[in-house]
Chain A
Amino acid sequence: DAGVIQSPRHEVTEMGQEVTLRCKPISGHDYLFWYRQTMMRGLELLIYFNNNVPIDDSGMPEDRFSAKMPNASFSTLKIQPSEPRDSAVYFCASSHSTTLRLAGVTGELFFGEGSRLTVL
């Protein structure tokens, strides 16, 4: 069973350029999260979706950041224009909601391998 798939794994771009990061969640998961990780700030939640609808985007740093989830199997995080301070590892994660504790379904997050962004 494939896990969360992110692309690209590495991206190097110049300041001012548009960056698009992509994520394919685990099939059947109804929650999707975008996190950012830096040495200074650790892991920060940027935004999360439930059933393709953004629920909480309070962690999105500013208007340069936008995220979409057009369907249950795809999400994008876009930075336009990019700045050097956006350099970080961006993680996508997905989860399955539960109202009862079902065998093998515990509601934990499954993370992708991350996209390492470097903005010069």
Chain B
Amino acid sequence: QQQVKQSPQSLIVQKGGISIINCAYENTAFDYFPWYQQFPGKGPALLIAIRPDVSEKKEGRFTISFNKSAKQFSLHIMDSQPGDSATYFCAASKGDDKIIFGKGTRLHILP
């Protein structure tokens, strides 16, 4: 059972464009929704996270939009840069329980 479904699997965006990655979850008890960024040969690194009591969180060029009723959340990368090319994972957890990761989105920003 896949508790966190992520799409698209891969994404190509022109430099300066907006990259959008979507995730849907099933467990309404989840209360923490982080996004991780992973470069080849590196471990994932926390990018930005949100709790379900807010609908949007912005940090620099990165924004999480959260729709609790639809059980969906998305990552928007504004003014995408070649350095943003990486694999992005959405995730969810409940309390101190383990983090459940999506399958990832390979993002490539064209120079």
Query: Is chain B found bound to chain A in the same assembly?
Result: no
Residues of A within 8 A of B (CB): none
**B residues near A, CB below 8 A?**
none
